Every structure is written in C-alpha cells, then in structure tokens.
Structure 1
C-alpha cells in the first residue's frame, strides 16, 4: 500500500540540503574523472573523493516524455554520440505534489516533465568485468511525488558500508512519473492502452540497467529491486507483472512497509481534469491533454490521488490471484513492516474517531466500500480497548485529543494496508518457493518522536517510514535525521549492512558484525521475524495479532487487491 507524505520545510532549505549533501559537496570533476561506455555512448561522471566513490547523474533511459509523448509509455533512449557526455548533474525530478495534503515528497525538488533519468553510485576504480551486485531503489511518495535527488536516498553511505564489508555493490536510483503523469485511469486511457505508465517507466529503467550496467562494473544478473511504501508496492507489482515473468531483470527484491496485498483501488479523475483544462469537448480528449501547457495540466491534477491498477497488460489480475496461481517471479526476498504503521496521518484520520459509529464508517469506506458483515467482523476483531490499539505497547493511553477511539482505527488501517499482506505473502512464499524470504518488524521510533512527511503529531512511535534512515545509514541532518544518539547510529549500521549482505549474497546475515541474532529464513511451520531495535534486536515468533491479520486474508477480493 502506498503512503503520501511531505517534507514540511521550506523548499529553499531542502534544495540547499540536496545540493550540499556529502555526495555532492565532495564531487570533483577533473581530467581523471570516471567514464563508462554504454550502448549509446560514453558518459563522464564525478569523483566523490570523501567516499572514495564515483557517481553518474542524470543518465536518460528514455526519450523525454514531452509534447506528444506525454501520457504515453516511455520510449527507450535512442540517441548515440561520439566523444563523452556529461553525467555530473542530476536531472529534474518528475512532477510531484504537496498541497492540499499536508504531505508531499516534492518539497525542494526541481521538477519538470524531462525527468526520465537515473543516477548511479559505485566504489571508485570499478571496471567492466568486476560484476558487482546492483541495488535498484524505487522511491516512495504515495505515487504522488519523489525523486532520485531526494537527499534522504543518498546511496553513498550504503555503498560505503558495502566497501567496508568487502562486499561492494553499485546503487541505481531511477526517476519515474507519478500522479496523473504516470497513473491516469479512464476508459480513454484504457482504449489507448497506456495504463500504469509509472510502472512501465520503472521497468524500462530496469531494462536499461540490464543492457548497460556492465559498463559501470555491475552484474545485470545480480540486481535487487527495492523500495518503501509506494516504492515497495512498485517492487511487488514487478513481481506479478506480465504473469510473473521478470525476464531476468532482477534476482531478488526488498519490500519495506508495503505488500502485494492490501487495500487498493482505481482512481478515476479523468473527467474532472479534462473539464478543468478544456479538453472535455475535444474529439480526442487524451490527445488534447498532451497539448495542454505543462503548468496548466500540473495545476489541474493537483489534489487527486492516483495508484497502479489492473490495466490488462502490466497488471492483468489482482495480485492475490497471481499469488494463488503462482504467477509471480520466484526470487529471494526481504519483506517487513514497522510496528506502528497505522499512526501515519494518511492511513488513519485524526480527531474524528470517537465512537463505534465512527470506526464502522471508517471500515465501511475502506477500499471501494465494505459490506455490513465485514464491518461487523472487523469491529469484533478490533474491540474498543486501547491496550490492543496502535501505537502498540502504549497501554491504556488513548491519545484522546486525536480521537477517543483513534488507536482502534490505527490498528485496523495499519493491519489492512501493511501487516496482513506482509504475513500472508511470507507464508505463501515460504511454502512454494525454493528461494528464501526474510521478514522483519522494525521497532525503533524516531529519536524525537517526529517523522516528517508522515506524522509529527503524537502519537508517532514506530510509524511508516521510520526505517528509511537506518536502511540508508544516512547521518545527514536532513528532514529524516537519525538523531544524536550513538545507539541509533549503531542500529542504522546494522540494518544497512544486513541489506547490503542480502543484495550481495542473498542472505542478510553476512554483515560482519558481532553479537547479532541470526536472521532466520521464514518458515510457515515455524514463522519468525527479526525485530530491529536500538541496542536490543531479537528474533520473535511471527504470531502477533494472529486472528486479526488472518481475517484480512479471507477478504482480499473485497478490499480490491
């Protein structure tokens, strides 16, 4: 399930943070600058001397989707040249949105439609033939916003960990179109056969990596696709895409705070948009939308939510059916969630859940609407008992200023959107696949109990997105700062190294750290998670809220998954 968020600081401040992140501040361009010879031609990159790394920014994998290419599938980049092209500056990010929602990963990003590029970071002096494993990160942002230039996804720290571990990897972060630019749905879109453009953007970037990553010293047979929230859901869609045929584009996947299973639905805003921009009377309204000036189109689609949907080509059926039929890429996986996912403001409304009727209404309006019988069952499984509510482990405290039954609602939404699907798929994968799946529960709250772009109003606890700064082991003081305490930095180093180990070796246990629990392969007959917490990570039996999570698995069709 996707999430939506916003950075919540002024755009100028974040722009400066982005431009002055260590990977950028350390950049040196000189006559010994690194180069790579791709299918199209040669690129010259940057030396990141403080990291002993090299970067190539803004490499196009598709023809810019401008003019008549707007609202079409990406077209492979087909230019060739002699000499060397500059790859030292990040491209614009794809158009993204903040208001009227209080969240948005567009803050501080320079945006335009000319955005279908990717960024690469590698250890210094890597050469073709070194065959390094590849980390392919798909950013989240609720399918509303995001970009490879977001400083929170600075891959240099993870790559540095891999170098220190003597398990070097290459990191790739592509841009893809969000909002209506990437996920517009309507009968006109269906007739034109251009649904789920965002997912095709991501797929074409994977194909570019398959064709070109050897030039950068990477191994196209050792790619791990990964993402969080909308990015993790995207990785999940790539598992079931085209009947589960991944064409060797990746050998493993990491799905953070997302799942193949959870509440999804199509968003049909096409008529609203065409009316706003004056295309509703055109003989071909979709063609008309391609002629609308960028800012006029951008403003017309702001405020609407768009998500991937069944388009008949990329996604041919609900993922729950793909899983049941075994029509899913059989690859190694890491999959997990954060303890208190439901406290994210986009999952659970604040200040409106005060009685049983409010909760019943919340449940009834999940997905495309749920029956009275399902509503009754959910209310029974999730009683008005704050001790059982989310944030979990907070006892009888109700956080009543957010709603007397807020914790009850947060437990429901977190389970439906994230936890239930994670467990259901872990069980399924472990029973059918020869490849391992490792699952986790992240249990470390932000140092200041604030997760900018998710929620900064109590209760926060271990909410959505809390693990990101640990995965990237990013000490920068951006809006997702890890905090001043060494114990948190130690956890980040542990989590990030576990991810690197999985990317490199297909097991998270070769992290090279002492006195850490052995993370077991998930086994449905003895289901176990690792729990990540500062100073005290451990292995637990995966049976929390067993009856509640199992119930959602009986009604996947009703929640449109």
Structure 2
C-alpha cells in the first residue's frame, strides 16, 4: 500500500496540472485555453475586507465548499473619486488571477512573475491583464500572477484612530498577503516559490520599492528579483501628518459628532463612503493633488523615507530592473498651464513642502524656452511636465540603480523612447508606463495599447524585443540570457557602466549614457528629496 501511494504521488507530480486546483480553503476550476495556457480567474487570497475588516489588515480567506468556477475576474477595488459599487467594482475585491502553461506539472518549478498594478494608490489602473502573452513569449517557461489591492481610504487611510482601531498601509499589506499566497500555493500551479520576480508599474513599481525596503530591508524571501516600471517617489507622510485626510473624510461623512468616528466610518455603506471619497488639498497647498491617499511612514512596514532607505543600504539585495519613459509627466500636468505661477502651483499642490527658493531654482533648471510648443497648449505644459516627470519618476529610478551599483548588485536601467505617432502629435510623447502595453503584449491589456503597437503598427517590432528581455530576466535574473537573436546586450548599471541604460526605440534600441543635463537636474532634485519627504 505504501509503495502504491508513493507511485501515485509520483504520477500525479509528473502529469500536467489539472484545471481543478485544490487549496487548503477552496478548490478552483480554471480554464485551459487553446493557446496552451490555463487561467484561473478571481481566486480569493484574503477574506472580504468588509465590516470590521474595513481599514484593517487583510485576513486569511474563509473556507469555501465545493468546486468554485474560476472563470471570471474578481471585481476591482473602489477608487477615489470613482463611482459606487457596480458590476465591475466593489469593496469586496481581494482577488488574484493565475496564468500557467497547460503542460506544467507540480515538478515544473517554473519562474513566477508577480505583477503589482498601478493607479497612484487611488485606483486599480491595470486590472485583469492577460498573462498569456508573457507566457508564450517565454516559450511556456513561466507563470504570471496579477491581483487587486485596496486603494484610496480603503487601503491607505491613516490617523490616530486608524492606528489604534485598525491598521496602517493596508493596501501594501494586501500586496504582501498576495505574495504570501504565492509562496504557499503557486507550486500547485507548476510554479517555484523560490523563483519569484516582483514587478510593477507606477504605483505598482513604487510598491516594489516599498517591499524591497520594508521593515528596514528585512528579507522574508517573498521574491528573488524585482522589475520596476516608472517607480514613483511621492511624499511620504507619517500618521500625524495624515490626520487631515481622516478628519476631512469623517466630516464629509457626517461622523464628526460620533463618539467613535472610526466605527461610524465602518458602518457606512460603500455607496455612501464613495460619495465623500474625494481628494482634498494637502496642508499648505492651494488645490487638491493628483493623489491624496498613499503609503504612510508608519515606522514599521515603512521605516524611513525611500531615498534614505536606499542610500543607507536598507533594501533587499536582489537582481533588479528599474526604468522610465522619456515624457513621464505629460499625462499628469495640466495641459492649460500657461505661466510659471501655474506651473509652480501644480508642483506645490503635489509636493507641498517645496519652498519658494526651491521653486525658483527648479524654474531656472527647467526654462520654458527649452520646451516644444503644440497648437492646443503653451510651452508651460511641457515645462511643468518635465519637472514632474523627473522629480517623481525618472530621477528616483536613476538614483536607485546607482545604489544597487554601489552595492555590487546586478541591475539594469532603461529609458523607453518608443515614439507613437498619435501621441507625438498630441504632445504627450513617450508617456508614463506606456511600455506596459508592449511587455504584456498589445492584445492582453484590455484594448489600452497604442495602435502603433498592434501587429500591423509601426512599433510592433518593439513588442517581441522587450518581451524577450523581460521574460529572460524573469527566467534567469538576467535580461540577456534569452534575449531576441541579434538584440543588443543590455549592459549592467555598474561601476564600469555607471549612468548607462538601454534606450528602447523601434529598430534603434541601443545603450546610451544619461545626459549631463539630466544628471545635473537629478543631482539637485535628489539633494532636496528628503525635505520633500520622498
């Protein structure tokens, strides 16, 4: 009997993973697609964050009996300034999707790409991307996991009341919960929990940096490499500095006179809470920022400002990719900006600790005369977008790569400069995180890819090229191992190649040096970063 049981276990391990996967708390039946990929959609990785679990850390999912059909995405999380719960969004939103080669077995030990979507921590902006394109690009040698996490006040409300009666940074803790789920269960889909690349775009890329520096750089072995697209470094506020947002929400919700304002907020329906879920100006600013809610410097999960954590070496030392787009700020800056006064107001709305002297220096470093003009905007739009793009995205990415190089950790930096004709004509240029459409493949991003990335588009050649680098990094921790034949070597950002990055451009991808002008501007912005709470 013992011999027979052993044989059966060996046979089970050697055969392809069944679409029906049995986890400790539930069984899920996925769908085997015609493209050789099996997908499991809408798997719970945490309990519904409702009732007393609103504003609380994520908890284990409760048991579900019978086989659950995993053929629909879970609802995405409610966004700030968004509508009430709907057919596609809800407060009950902690779901993930798994994509795996249909021929994977429990012995496959395939590399895993764990992707954190963006949205400024106020929305889920990359929901339900299809992992099939990446898996096929890897020659069916990887697994893809993507998921939702709480945003806005549901994920990032911070105050003395929340600290005492709930939890801080719950959106990040949702991400960590999903990561722990991968460690526990991904082997049942054919994945290797010891070979996980944590990736992300925008706020998802900032999340990567915060997991890398979490708890002072403590390594809980949840991932073994990271890949960040347009890592964002907004200001971090501690609990007391975040109190204004809690007070404002409580007042708008009619909870100010309650003896327990947190209980009052928890007792509101999601529809009623959404009606008052809006941005308000930061203290000292004149207008609301782009994103008010976000990660909080709680001196626990986030133990320090991000710049200082990296500078002091308090980060997990694993192979890494960091990079940005040429025109990071164009989709954020107001297109009707028409003066330095309006430019400075926008910057101070989002970085309220900027001083008058600093704004003056920034205007000197970014003269409007150096910017292009477009028919429906003044040059000040591109002037302020250049500042915002470098202060929040580009300069942090370069700085982080420099810290990896100083620690002799293999890392690679890039600049995405793939010009879409329509975006170029509009003036948005090579905009924030546009490369995500090529990395996943234009047919896998819910119709959001530029037309030039489609198979008959002028930029389609860049798609298999970047996918080869990306999947190579996920598979081997080196973007060059399985890169496309004839593709240039992506040189490490190291002491020998300090300040050199790969410039992606259709049919002209090559290594480049970071220009002296950008280096000088970044040197100034990095120098004032701690004062801005970055």
| Corresponding residue of 1:10 | none
- The reply on whether 1:461 has 2:429 as its aligned counterpart is yes
How many Å apart are 1:336 and its aligned residue?
0.3
The offset of 1:193, in angstroms, is: 5.1
Change in 2 beyond 3 A, CA 1:186/1:169: same
1:293 aligned onto 2:266: no
Q: Unaligned stretches of 5+ in structure 1? A: 1-31, 101-105, 390-396, 451-456
Deviation at 1:398, TM superposition (A): 2.2
Residues 13-412 of structure 1 correspond to what in structure 2 (within 5 A)? 34-49=19-34, 51-79=35-63, 81=65, 84-97=67-80, 110-146=88-124, 149-150=127-128, 153-163=129-139, 168-192=141-165, 194-259=167-232, 261-265=233-237, 268-303=244-279, 305-344=292-331, 346=332, 348-354=333-339, 356-386=340-370, 389=371, 397-399=372-374, 401-412=376-387
Question: Secondary structure of the equivalent of 2:41?
Answer: strand
Separation (CA, whole Å) in 1 of partners of 2:88 and 2:348: 39
- Is contact 2:337-2:343 (8 Å) kept? no
The secondary structure found in structure 2 opposite 1:558 is helix
Aligned residues of 2:78 and 2:85 also touching (Cα < 8 A): no
CA contact (8 A) 1:473 1:492 kept: yes
Q: Do structure 1's residue 445 and structure 2's residue 419 form an aligned pair?
A: yes
C-alpha spacing 1:422/1:142, structure 2 compared with 1 (3 Å): same
Q: Render the CA deviation track for 1:119-168: whole Å, top value 9, x for unaligned.
A: 00001121112100100111111212226744xx22111111112xx6x1
The change in CA–CA distance for 1:98 and 1:445 in structure 2 (over 3 A counts) is farther
Residue 531 (structure 1) aligned with residue 503 (structure 2):
yes
CA offset digits 1:71-91 (Å, max 9, x no partner): 11100124265x533222221
> CA 1:357 to 1:59, structure 2 compared with 1: closer, same or farther past 3 Å?
closer
Compute the displacement of 1:446 (Å): 3.0
Counterparts of 1:412-561 in structure 2, within 5 Å, are 412-433=387-408, 435-449=409-423, 458-475=426-443, 478-483=447-452, 484=454, 485-527=456-498, 528-544=500-516, 545-561=518-534
- Separation (CA, whole Å) in 2 of partners of 1:109 and 1:489: 34
Aligned length: 498
Change (3 A) 1:428 1:57: same
Q: Residue 25 of structure 1 corresponds to which residue in structure 2?
A: none
The question of whether the paired residues in 1 share the 8 Å contact of 2:118 and 2:126 is answered with no
Normalising by structure 1, we get a TM-score of 0.83
Unaligned runs of 5+ in 2: 1-16, 281-291
What is the rounded CA distance, in whole Å, between the counterparts of 1:558 and 1:421 in structure 2?
Answer: 15
Structure number with greater CO (CA < 8 Å, separation at least 6) is 1
Q: Aligned-pair RMSD on alpha carbons? A: 2.4
Q: Contact 2:120–2:202 at 8 Å: present in 1 too? A: yes
| Alpha-carbon distance in structure 1 between the residues aligned to 2:18 and 2:318 | 36
Q: Alignment partner of 1:405: what SS?
A: helix
Instruction: Find the aligned partners of 1:297 and 1:116 in 2 and give their Cα distance.
Output: 19
Distance 1:417 1:277, change over 3 A: same
Indicate conservation of the 8 Å contact 1:139/1:227, yes or no: yes
